[in-house]
Amino acid sequence: MDNKSYNKTSYRTGDKGKTSLFGGTKVPKFHIRLEAYGTVDELCAFIGLLSDHDISLHHKKSLKTIQQQLFLAMSLLACDKANQYEHLPKITEDDISFLEREITGMNEALPKLKSFIIPGGHPAVSYCHIIRTICRRCERIIIKMAEKYYIDQEVLMFFNRLSDYFFVLSRKLSRELNADESYWEKEE
**Which pLDDT tens digit goes with each residue over 122-137?**
999 999 999 999 999 9
**Which pLDDT tens digit goes with each residue over 103-114?**
999 999 887 877
- Give me Rg for the CA atoms of the chain: 20
Bridge partners, 20 (sequence order): 26
Low-confidence stretches of the chain (pLDDT beneath 50)? 1-2, 5-10, 28
CATH code of the domain made up of 28-110+117-179: 1.20.1200.10
Q: Where do the H-state alpha helices sit in the chain?
A: 3-8, 32-51, 57-78, 82-85, 93-108, 123-146, 153-176
CA distances from residue 99 to 7, 21, 104, 169 in whole angstroms, order as listed = 48, 29, 9, 11
Let me know: does 133 contact 182? Beta carbons within 8 Å: no
Give the domain ranges of the chain: 28-110+117-179
